[in-house]
Amino acid sequence: MTPSSPTRKTAPRFTKGKFTVRPLTPDDWPTVERLFGANGACGGCWCMWWRLPRGGKLWEQSKGEKNKRAFQKLVKNGDVSGCLAFANHDPVGWCCVGRRGDFPRLERTKALKTDWSPGTWSVTCFYIKSAWRRHGVATLLLKEAVKLARKNGAAELEAYPVRPTSGSDIPAAFAWTGVPKLFAACSFQNVTPSGNARDVYIRRFRTRGL
């Protein structure tokens, strides 16, 4: 069933201009495959970079078809959280968000180790088709990711943006975890330890019932 089907049960949660954004469902694999294309979004990643425990030889062996099969299984089994953006029913963007424990590579990245708990969720990546970049798609995706994490009981949501250098823009290929101003505009706080090589941002949610 395509995103444009009138019988689809998961209607977009909100609309802004020509874009619609909604959470991923297990039926969305054809949409993901169409969006990511032959390169699996970038370099055969297929949104598996943070899901593998380490890089190096394991990553080189997994890039491409192996990553694709692994991500396809996760999506179809409902084991992936994320948000999709559409323009005129065509998929144009993706944001991965999920429980931090689902991304073991974060723990192997020294600069991204935090005092997290089972209630910690993470925004790990964005992929937006080149023609649709700088149109506000990332902001829409992030807002929906915040809603999704909150709805699923997250106590806090972490993010790991790429730090700009000398005030210059970061090429899209290197900004796949987002940029600081994106998260700051969505009420994330910069909690990066002094001297840390990577930025860490966090948005904490009020405990339900308070």
Amino acid identity, position 162: V
Q: What's the pLDDT at 150?
A: 97
Confidence of residue 206 (pLDDT cuts 50, 70, 90): confident
- pLDDT at 97 exceeding the cut of 70: yes
Confidence band of 4 (pLDDT split at 50, 70, 90):
very low
* Strands of the chain, DSSP E: 14-16, 19-23, 82-87, 90-99, 120-128, 156-159, 189-190, 201-204
Question: Binning pLDDT at 50, 70 and 90, where does residue 18 land?
Answer: confident
pLDDT attached to residue 2: 36
Confidence of residue 210 (pLDDT cuts 50, 70, 90): very low
pLDDT digits (tens, 9 = 90+) for 168-179: 677 766 789 999
Q: What is the mean pLDDT of residues 6-11?
A: 38
Question: Can you give the pLDDT at residue 170?
Answer: 73
Neighbour-count burial of 12, counting CB atoms closer than 10 A to its CB (0-12 exposed, 13-18 middle, 19+ buried)? middle
Tokens (6 digits) for 180: 């600081």
Q: What percent of the chain has pLDDT over 70?
A: 87
Q: What tokens were used for 1?
A: 């069933």
Note whether 83 and 3 are within 8 A (CB): no
pLDDT at 167 over 90: no
Higher local confidence (pLDDT), 188 or 165: 188
Domains and CATH numbers, the chain: 14-204 (3.40.630.30)
- pLDDT per residue as tens digits for the range 137-159: 999 999 999 999 999 999 999 99
The CA distance from 122 to 154, in Å, is 10
Percent with pLDDT over 90 in the chain: 80
The answer, yes or no, to whether residue 10 has pLDDT greater than 90, is no
